[in-house]
Amino acid sequence: MPDPAAIGVFSLASLALLVVPGPSVLYIVTRGITQGRMAGLASVLGVHVGTTFHIAAATLGLSALLMRSILAFNIVKYAGAAYLVYLGIRRLLDDDGPMQTGSVDAHSLARVFRQGVVVNVLNPKTALFFLAFLPQFVDVQKGSAPLQMLALGSIFIVLGLLSDGTYALVSSMLGNRLRTSKAFARRERLLSGSVYLGLGVGAALSGSRSNTA
């Protein structure tokens, strides 16, 4: 295990990164506002199941392969962007109307969960973060490097569940108020669809690996 000082610094650095809204946070907030607390929390769980994939990949060295391959990096990046655009178009074309708090059934929650997993797994920047960030806190003299990375990754997930869970709960409370507005009810589909489209376009236009090793 890393020493307590390293764990403390890692935890503070992780929190600083987690509280800054990114694609995953915006996905969670959008679900919380438009579909309520349970959907927001389901999206949090999905996102962090996706996080476990990146932690495992970094521990096994797969992320290093992704970062070294321009083609692989861009395939993952554009696949993630395309998936977000797909979610946006699907929501804009959905004629079921806005979903109310308490009306999200188990099937819908499972879909929200799966989408959260895919959104995070197909984010190459998350892979880059774990590849560059975790090793900084690993001390080979303290024991097995892979076990230390898994331990640090577990701490990150716990902090992420707390941070993103807070976003989900706050956004769902805000959504409870907004859903009483007829104007919001009419515009909810446009709001959520536009957020996903914006995330997808932003991901597609983000920095390329063409100039990196």
111 vs 189: CA distance, rounded Å:
17
- Mean pLDDT for the chain? 78
Report whether pLDDT(212) > 60: no
| Arithmetic mean of pLDDT, 106-113 | 86
The proportion of the chain whose per-residue pLDDT surpasses 90, expressed as a percent, equals 19
- What are the boundaries of each domain within the chain? 23-205
- Mean pLDDT within 123-145: 76
Q: Roughly what angle, to the nearest 10 degrees, separates helices 4-18 and 145-178?
A: 30
pLDDT of residue 99: 46
C-alpha to C-alpha distance for 125 and 51, rounded to whole angstroms = 12
**Does residue 2 contact residue 138 with C-beta atoms inside 8 Å?**
yes
How many helices (DSSP H) and strands (DSSP E) are in the chain?
Answer: 9, 0
pLDDT digits (tens, 9 = 90+) for 160-200: 999 999 999 999 998 887 766 666 655 666 777 777 777 67
Q: Which of 22, 208, 15, 196 is nearest to 94 (CA)?
A: 196
Q: How confident is the model at residue 82 (pLDDT cuts 50, 70, 90)?
A: confident
- Name the one residue in this structure whose structure tokens are 């977000």: 84
Which residue type, as a one-letter code, is found at position 68?
R
pLDDT score recorded for residue 79: 76
E strand segments, 84-164: none
Residues, the chain: 213
- Give the residue, 37 or 125, on which the prediction is more confident: 37
